[in-house]
Structure 1
Amino acid sequence: MHLRARTVRLAVAALVAGLALTGCSAPEPQNGGGEGEQTLRLALSAAPTDLSIGNGITGDPTIYLAVYDRIVHRHGDQLEPGIAESWEYNADRTQLTLNIREGLKFSSGNALDAAAVAANIEAVRTIPATTQLVSAVSGVEAPDPSTVVVTLSRPDASILPNLAEALGAVGDPEVLGEDSSKLAPIGSGPYILNTEKSKTGSLYVLDRNEDYWDVESFDFEHVEIQAIPDPAAVQNALLAGQIDYGNVGADVVSQFKDNPKFHVGDTTGGFPILALIDRTGSIVPALGDVRVRQAINHAINRDEIVEKLLFGQGTPTNQMFNPQYGAFDEGLLEKGEYDLDAAKKLMADAGYADGFELTMPSNFLTAYYEPTLTQSLGDLGITVTWEPVQFTDLYPKVFGGSYGAFFIYGAGYPFPAQDANASLTGIFNPFGYTTPELDALVAAANAADESEQDAAFKKVNAYLVDQAWFAPLNVGKSSFVTTAEVEFDPTVGYGFLSAFSVSN
């Protein structure tokens, strides 16, 4: 589960957000473009700062995934053809062959062939935000225009499903690494960014790519996206008919449920996680003792958090794996049960009966949970200091060793290999900590046949819970609202415009 460095992606998903009603002009609540054309109006919580290849795994991916097509597609936990019409592994799963769809072109008119796909995979191997996600890739070749061969130094079951996400986006090789692609990306996706009508930082206009190979899956000829940092405004924007979709809190969703102008539905929300990343105790010595990390898990009353903070809209969990899929283990939940007496004994056994001091970064994501976490850890004598940090500075400070623990949102993936990879790399394991036992479990799971992967990754899950690498809190449930003219399918996946259709 996680926002792969993508970590943030889930948090942002939980905050998808509001259209400001002042300070900028909102689209008129009617169809745009030519006669009979449909316009979908959305709001994001933050404007994208870099749409170049490799930068779509952080922040909201909606525009990125609209402009770029991906090597593989997915619907829920099913992988489907994308730029690659088919694929196959060799016997030991160290070579992945991608069979590229013929006749594809970028919006620039340049051909999208195997060489272009290979160039993009090579590019993400060198980009800081993505390099760990493809660390198993040792080589990429395009022996002919319709074939890409990806060689792996070791089996990695997360590679293929990751190619169905932002990691698998393919841009025109002519502008790979060019500054121009940050705000004027060139892809082959279902939409083209209209740079003339868009206003960087506030309004993004997408026009449907009529040459896209699967254009019939996209009902809307145009998409207008406002980027506004005020989540609360989404409620008013929906009520005013200024946007067609938005996430709303459990405390306000009742305003929409009985209103015939809207559809209301639920989807999995963010996974709030207290990441206990200093597993060697080099920054906070106490965290190097597994008993302290286990004590922290027992000191958190997850049931009460769901009831009082989430108004019942969520499920307690102590696991980093998505509870909707096979690596999640109901039997492990007892290891995260609230038991303050057991937690205090563990602290005493570890030599920290009087607690210790812990500094963690504070930002807009942590504010809601700070009082609860301060109280829960305080019950163990742990004195928490919340240090204000701009979210843009969070990653550098975490990777730089400023904190032994921090709070963030993650996102559960439909494939356990992705959850495992996200838990063991990037922001969730910034110091690259591992053990021989864990390495063996991960290697066995990655090498397993698809039919055996759930059971194999369940062992990885058990190890992470036993060693208390993390203290996940819950799996949130997010309510979304659409106007009556728009339907949204949450099983498609967050950020994909194919999830939206014209209501019949």
Structure 2
Amino acid sequence: MKRIVQLGSTLLVAALVLTACSGSPGDDAAPSDDVPRELILGNNGDVLSWDPGEMKEGAIISYAEAVYDPLLRKTSEGVVEPNLATDFEYNEDLTELTLTLQEGISFTDGEPFDAEAVIANIEARKAGSGSASEAAASIDEVVATDDSTVVLQLSAPNPGLLSALATYLGYMASPAAIEAGTIGSEPVGSGPYVLDSGSTISGSSYAFERNADYWNAEAYPFDTVVIKPFEDFTARFNALTTGQIQFMYATPDMVEQAEASGLTVQTVPGEWQGVILQDRAGTLSPALGEVAVRQAINYAIDREAILDTYYNGFGQVSTQTFNPASQAWIEELNERYPYDPEMARELLAEAGYAEGFEIPISYSEGFMSPLVPIVQQYLAEVGITMTPVPINGFANGGLETLKGQPAFMLSFSTNIPAWTDVLNKLTPTSLWNNFGYTDDTVQSLLEEIPLTQGDEQTALYQELNTHLVEDAWFAPIVLQQNVYLASPEIDVTMQQAQLIPSLRFFAPAD
């Protein structure tokens, strides 16, 4: 059976013409007057590198989207559609993806966007260490059949490839800047904006001016964009209520005050929060090498109580780490670990830890800080002594600290397709599997899933998810409703399975 994922350039052009008449965000709406418009975003963190191949953080996507245009893009519902590539088509066995490229586009340094530029970018992503590296690893070679056509030849089918080409793998940077080695410090793309170095203060405020030559300017109604990093949620909220920023990713406890302040509150199913038990082989923490111990940790946590109190009910209890709209999700799995401290103690005794054990668990300061003592108390009640290890923000080496910890608490995005979560957390080289752990079941399923489609693939995903829950690779607590606060001056369309909505989903309120 031949599987084709294709949208013609004629359809794309027609869509752009039609949507240019609409006034809702994300619908390529042009501003109705000549008044300069500015969008100011409060961001979760700082940008460490402008190299798309080194970018790792979900919130950092806003910085990337300002300057880099992707080959493909996602709708607000997560559907992949054309962008710099006007057509995309797989061969019958899903091992070759042909991309037809737009013509007449240049990077802001004058370099042409063409097939050779795509090759340079894909090769650079393959050599990088960021979020794109896992998806790029499946690409054996990129072949240019002419200036506007490239064929991605894969070592094996990759169900997450199209999605990856709509984010970091697909962000196109100037080949000259890549070759010169300057792309990490000075972004050069073909995106809707260019970095205004004169108005930028590194670590504090990043200013972007409209790219006068951008091919799809109607999709971005703001003349300037400013991104201000705040690692502290309270500082970010204060900046929003005092008009210093117009948008932020928030915490549920801020909703009541935000509504009283006249801010717009929106939610979307998003991140799971809990513990990654990454030392599953017991390398640093022998106790974590025991399945019964990892299961005991799951039984020890009262998810319902935490949801009602800490999250103010914004979400649902969860034992799984996939998106509810993905193929892998099984609603019944959330009943696998009811709060049962007695069962936790029995499992610990079964594993040889009747007297308990000690374990350091690192966490990212800010969002996780109030949750840490709650989890610490629940673990203590079954005999597990948790030593919290706060880490610096990722901009200050925090990510490197996590790599050596047996377990850590963070907030993790869930994605569509589920394969993106596989690449992020489940392979031996995944960014969030720093100990490189796997087992025969996971390894076998990860080999089978890309070779299937439809119901057969769904069944394999769900088998994988069930195994991860039963084997307690993680200790999720809640799949939260991501909370977003915005000034009434702007309209924002929520986006499924992306931590921060894409810039084209922001528009002036008028």
Q: What TM-score do you get using the length of structure 2 for normalisation?
A: 0.86
Q: Post-superposition shift, 1:452?
A: 4.8
- Specify the code of the residue in structure 2 equivalent to 1:433: Y
Cα deviations across residues 392-423 of structure 1 (Å, max 9, x unaligned)? 44433443xx3221212210112111122222
Provide closer, same or farther for how the CA distance between residues 374 and 252 of structure 1 changes in structure 2, counting only shifts above 3 A.
closer
Match of 1:10 in 2: none
Match of 1:36 in 2: 35
Match of 1:447 in 2: 451
Provide closer, same or farther for how the CA distance between residues 56 and 451 of structure 1 changes in structure 2, counting only shifts above 3 A.
farther
* Correspondence list, 1:187-336, <5 A: 187-257=189-259, 262-336=263-337
Q: Post-superposition shift, 1:439?
A: 1.9
Match of 1:7 in 2: none
CA distance in 1, matches of 2:239, 2:433: 39
* Larger relative contact order (Cα-Cα within 8 Å, sequence gap ≥ 6): 1
State how many pairs are aligned.
Answer: 469
- Specify the code of the residue in structure 2 equivalent to 1:80: E
Match of 2:358 in 1: 357
CA contact (8 A) 1:269 1:475 kept: yes
CA distance in 1, matches of 2:290, 2:125: 36
Q: Secondary structure at the match of 1:92?
A: coil
CA contact (8 A) 1:60 1:495 kept: no
CA distance in 2, matches of 1:340, 1:466: 18
Q: Post-superposition shift, 1:450?
A: 5.1
Q: Post-superposition shift, 1:500?
A: 0.2
CA contact (8 A) 1:71 1:84 kept: yes
Match of 2:161 in 1: 159
Q: Post-superposition shift, 1:220?
A: 0.8
CA distance in 1, matches of 2:424, 2:412: 9
Match of 2:463 among 456, 459, 463: 459
Match of 1:14 in 2: none
CA contact (8 A) 1:57 1:167 kept: no
Match of 1:385 in 2: 387
Provide closer, same or farther for how the CA distance between residues 388 and 482 of structure 1 changes in structure 2, counting only shifts above 3 A.
closer
Q: Post-superposition shift, 1:97?
A: 1.6
CA distance in 2, matches of 1:70, 1:239: 33
CA distance in 1, matches of 2:81, 2:143: 22
CA distance in 2, matches of 1:266, 1:487: 14
Moved over 4 A (4+): none
- Specify the code of the residue in structure 1 equivalent to 2:445: L
Q: Post-superposition shift, 1:233?
A: 2.8
Match of 1:407 among 409, 412, 435: 409
Provide closer, same or farther for how the CA distance between residues 93 and 229 of structure 1 changes in structure 2, counting only shifts above 3 A.
same
Match of 2:116 in 1: 115
Q: Secondary structure at the match of 1:43?
A: strand
Q: Secondary structure at the match of 1:306?
A: helix
Provide closer, same or farther for how the CA distance between residues 174 and 46 of structure 1 changes in structure 2, counting only shifts above 3 A.
same
- Specify the code of the residue in structure 2 equivalent to 1:293: R
Match of 2:338 in 1: 337
CA distance in 2, matches of 1:228, 1:108: 31
Cα deviations across residues 370-411 of structure 1 (Å, max 9, x unaligned)? 212212222221111223433444433443xx3221212210
Cα deviations across residues 149-183 of structure 1 (Å, max 9, x unaligned)? 11222222112211111232110000115453234
Cα deviations across residues 324-381 of structure 1 (Å, max 9, x unaligned)? 3332101211212212222222222222221111122244154222212212222221
Q: Secondary structure at the match of 1:422?
A: helix
Provide closer, same or farther for how the CA distance between residues 127 and 448 of structure 1 changes in structure 2, counting only shifts above 3 A.
same
CA distance in 2, matches of 1:336, 1:116: 50
- Specify the code of the residue in structure 1 equivalent to 2:503: L
Q: What TM-score do you get using the length of structure 1 for normalisation?
A: 0.87
CA distance in 2, matches of 1:262, 1:393: 34
CA distance in 2, matches of 1:315, 1:281: 30
Q: Secondary structure at the match of 1:457?
A: helix
Does 2:494 align with 1:500?
Answer: no
Match of 1:6 in 2: none
Q: Post-superposition shift, 1:88?
A: 1.6
Question: Can you give the 5+ residue segments of structure 1 that lack an aligned partner in the other structure?
Answer: 1-33
CA contact (8 A) 1:317 1:336 kept: no
CA distance in 2, matches of 1:279, 1:233: 37
Provide closer, same or farther for how the CA distance between residues 204 and 418 of structure 1 changes in structure 2, counting only shifts above 3 A.
same
CA contact (8 A) 1:53 1:176 kept: no
Does 2:140 align with 1:138?
Answer: yes
Determine what percentage of the aligned residue pairs are the same residue.
Answer: 33
Provide closer, same or farther for how the CA distance between residues 451 and 51 of structure 1 changes in structure 2, counting only shifts above 3 A.
farther
- Specify the code of the residue in structure 1 equivalent to 2:79: Q
Q: Secondary structure at the match of 1:473?
A: strand
Deviates more, 1:447-456 or 1:415-424: 447-456
Q: Post-superposition shift, 1:498?
A: 0.7
Q: Post-superposition shift, 1:424?
A: 0.8
CA distance in 2, matches of 1:139, 1:192: 30
Provide closer, same or farther for how the CA distance between residues 368 and 177 of structure 1 changes in structure 2, counting only shifts above 3 A.
farther
- Specify the code of the residue in structure 1 equivalent to 2:502: F
- Specify the code of the residue in structure 2 equivalent to 1:303: E
CA contact (8 A) 1:65 1:166 kept: no
Provide closer, same or farther for how the CA distance between residues 451 and 72 of structure 1 changes in structure 2, counting only shifts above 3 A.
farther
CA contact (8 A) 2:365 2:390 kept: no
CA distance in 1, matches of 2:241, 2:402: 40
CA distance in 2, matches of 1:488, 1:117: 31
RMSD: 2.2
